[in-house]
Structure 1
Amino acid sequence: MSLPAYSIVHDQFKFNGVHFSKEELCAIAEGYLNQEEEYLKDAGHFILQWFDENDFVNVQTSGTTGTPKLIAIKKQAMMYSALATGEFFTLAPGDKALCCLPVKYIAGKMMLVRAFILGLAIDLVAPQSNPMEGNSTIYDFVAMVPLQVEKSMQQLHQIKKIIIGGAKVNAELAAQLQSTMTAVYETYSMTETVTHIAAKRVGEKTFKLLPNVTISTDARHCLVIAAPLLNPELIVTNDVVTLLSDTEFIWEGRIDNVINSGGIKLFPEQIEEQLSGKLSGRFFVGAIADPILGEKLVLVIEGAPYELDSTVFDSLSKYEKPKAMYFIPSFLETETGKIKRKEILKTLN
Structure 2
Amino acid sequence: MLYFSKEGELINTESGNVYYKKALQILDDWNFGKTAFEIKTSGSTGIPKTIHLKRELIEASIEMTKKAFDLDDGHLFFCCLNIENIAGLMMLLRSQRLKGELMLVEPSADPLEKLGNLDYLFSDNRGRNVFAFVPLQLQKLLENEKYIQILKTAKTILVGGAALNTELKAKIADLYLPVFETYGMTETISHIAIKNIRLDEDTFNTLEGVEIKLNDAGCLMIKSPTTDFEWITTNDIVEIIENKTFKLIGRFDNIINSGGVKIQLEEIERKIEENIKIESRYFCFGIPDQQLGQKLVLIVESEEKRISKEQLSTILSKFEVPKEIYFVKKFSETSSSKVDKHKTIDEILNS
* TM bucket, shorter chain: 0.7 to 0.9
Is the contact between residue 85 and residue 335 of structure 2 (CA under 8 Å) also seen in structure 1? no
Moved more, 78-87 or 334-343: 334-343
1:145 to 134, 138, 146: 134
Is the contact between residue 160 and residue 182 of structure 1 (CA under 8 Å) also seen in structure 2? no
Aligned to 1:9: none
1:163 to 153, 158, 162: 158
Is the contact between residue 287 and residue 345 of structure 1 (CA under 8 Å) also seen in structure 2? no
TM-score computed with the length of structure 1 as normaliser = 0.85
Moved more, 213-222 or 266-275: 266-275
Q: CA deviation at 1:71?
A: 1.7
Aligned to 2:214: 217
1:49 to 26, 29, 53: 29
The one-letter amino acid of 1:326's match is Y
Show structure 2 runs of 5+ residues with no match: none
Give, in whole Å, the separation in 1 of the partners of 2:33 and 2:156. 34
Aligned to 2:338: 338
Alignment RMSD, CA only? 2.5
- Greater share of helix: 2
The one-letter amino acid of 2:58's match is M
Aligned to 1:279: 278
Is the contact between residue 42 and residue 85 of structure 2 (CA under 8 Å) also seen in structure 1? yes
Aligned to 1:75: 55
The one-letter amino acid of 1:284's match is F
Aligned pairs for 1:1-349 (under 5 A) are 16-20=4-8, 35-133=15-113, 134=116, 135-136=119-120, 137=122, 138=126, 139-153=128-142, 154=145, 155=148, 156-202=151-197, 203-276=200-273, 278-306=277-305, 308=307, 311=311, 314-346=314-346, 347-348=348-349
Report the 3-state secondary structure (helix = DSSP H, G, I; strand = E; otherwise coil) of the residue aligned with 1:279.
coil
Moved more, 257-266 or 211-220: 257-266
The one-letter amino acid of 2:181's match is E
Greater relative contact order (CA < 8 Å, ≥ 6 in sequence): 2
Give, in whole Å, the separation in 2 of the partners of 1:160 and 1:270. 33
Moved more, 67-76 or 51-60: 51-60
Render the CA deviation track for 1:280-317: whole Å, top value 9, x for unaligned.
42211111233443322111112324253664553333
The one-letter amino acid of 1:99's match is C
When residues 344 and 96 of structure 1 are mapped into structure 2, their CA distance, relative to the original with a 3 A threshold, is: closer
The one-letter amino acid of 1:168's match is A
Render the CA deviation track for 1:124-154: whole Å, top value 9, x for unaligned.
2332222233524145321111111112113
When residues 116 and 230 of structure 1 are mapped into structure 2, their CA distance, relative to the original with a 3 A threshold, is: farther
Give, in whole Å, the separation in 2 of the partners of 1:332 and 1:125. 22
Report the 3-state secondary structure (helix = DSSP H, G, I; strand = E; otherwise coil) of the residue aligned with 1:179.
helix
Query: Identity of paired residues, percent?
Result: 37
Is the contact between residue 62 and residue 334 of structure 1 (CA under 8 Å) also seen in structure 2? yes
The one-letter amino acid of 1:128's match is S
Q: CA deviation at 1:344?
A: 3.3
The one-letter amino acid of 1:102's match is N
